[in-house]
Copies of this chain bind each other. A is one copy, B any other.
Amino acid sequence: MKAKLFPLNKITVIGPGLIGGSIAKACIERALCKNLAIGARDDELNLLTKSGLKANLYNHFGLSVEGSDLVILCVPFEVLESILLEIKDYLGPETIVTDVTSIKKEVIRLFQSILADKVEWIGSHPMAGSEKSGFESSNSKLFDGSITILTPGLHACSETLHCVKTLWEKLGSKTINLSAEEHDALVSEISHLPHLLSAVLMKSVSLKSLALAGPGFRDITRIASGCPNLWKSILLTNRQSICEAGKKFIMDFEEALEILQTGDEKALLELLNKANVLRKGLEKK
C-alpha cells in the first residue's frame, strides 16, 4: 500500500457516539481529511444534522465507506460483526479499517474472518472517554493527553500502521503497540476490573450509607454510571482475563483486611504509602 498523507482524502466514521462523535469533530477542527463521511442510524443522523457538523451523512453504512482512505468503526462490539458484513463489499483495496472497542482478541478474529486480506486493518483502543455516552457528550478534545493502544498484529503493513498511528497522534493521543492478547490482559486490569469493582461497590453499600456519600465515594463509583449494555458486552467478551484479574484482586484485598484486622500498623502504612506514591505518579503523566 502507498503511504497515505494527512489530510486524507476521505475518512469515514461509523457510529457517532461519544468516541465517534469526538473523532468526527476533531477531524473537522484539525482538518484531518478533505471529506468526512459519517454512517449512523436515523435517530443519530437527526442529531448530527441539527449539530451542523460539516460531514456527509449516511444511513447506509456500505455507501459511507466507498472510496474512503480510512474507516473508523466506533460501534459496540455486539454490532461490529453485522456492520463489517454490511460494509465489506464496499471497501476498496486501498482502504484501511480500524475500530475503537476495548476488547481486541475477538475483534481481530472478526476482522480476520470477515475482511481477511481484502483490506488493511488494525485494532485501536483509545484509553479516553467518560461515563457519559452519545454524540451530545462528544468533544474534539476528548483524546488530548490520552493513550491509544494499537493492535496491528503481524499482517499489517508499515504504511497502514503509520496511517492509524498518525490519526491518533493528530487526535491528541500517544500510541503504543500491543498484541491483542497483551491488550486484553492489561486492559482487564486497568479498565474492566475497575469497572466491575465500581459497579459492585455501588450495589453493595446500604441505602442508608448512600445518603452520606461524599466526593470520594462519587469518584470511586463514577464509572458505574457508564452505559450498562455497552459494559455488559465488554465484560462478557473479555471475561476470562477479568476473572483472573478479579481473583488476584480478591487475594490482595483479603490480605489488606487481614493487615487491618490484626492491627498491623507498619504493613498498613506501607500499603497506603505505596498506593499513594503510585497514584501520584499517574498525575504527572
Secondary structure of the A side of the interface? helix
List chain B residues, Cβ under 8 A from A228.
269, 272-273, 275-276
Given A190-B205, A236-B263, A211-B176 contact (CB < 8 Å):
yes
Quick one: CB contact mask for A204-233 with B, threshold 8 Å, 1 for yes? 111011111111111111111111110110
Interface-central residue, A186, A210, A211, A279, by most chain B CB under 10 Å: A279
Which of chain B's residues has its CB closest to A221's CB?
Answer: B279
> Interface segment, A40-48, A56-64, A158-166, A239-247?
A239-247
B203 touches A278 (CB 8 A): yes
Given A220-B220, A269-B232, A201-B209 contact (CB < 8 Å):
no
Query: What is the CB-to-nearest-CB distance from A236 to chain B, in angstroms, rounded to a whole number?
Result: 6
B197 touches A209 (CB 8 A): no
In the assembled complex, A98 has its CB within 8 A of some CB on chain B: no
Cross-interface CB contact of A250 among B227, B254, B269, cutoff 8 Å: B254
- What 3 A-B pairs have minimum CB-CB distances, sorted nearest first? A127-B214, A199-B275, A228-B272
A residues near B (Cβ < 8 Å) are 127-131, 146-147, 149, 176, 186-187, 189-191, 193-206, 208-229, 231-232, 235-236, 239, 242-243, 245-250, 252-254, 256-257, 260-261, 263, 265, 268-269, 271-276, 278-283, 285
29 contacts between A and B (CB under 8 A): A131-B216, A186-B209, A189-B206, A190-B209, A190-B210, A190-B213, A191-B217, A193-B201, A194-B217, A196-B257, A197-B197, A202-B278, A203-B271, A203-B274, A213-B282, A217-B282, A218-B282, A220-B223, A221-B275, A224-B279, A228-B269, A228-B275, A231-B272, A239-B260, A242-B257, A246-B257, A247-B257, A250-B250, A250-B254
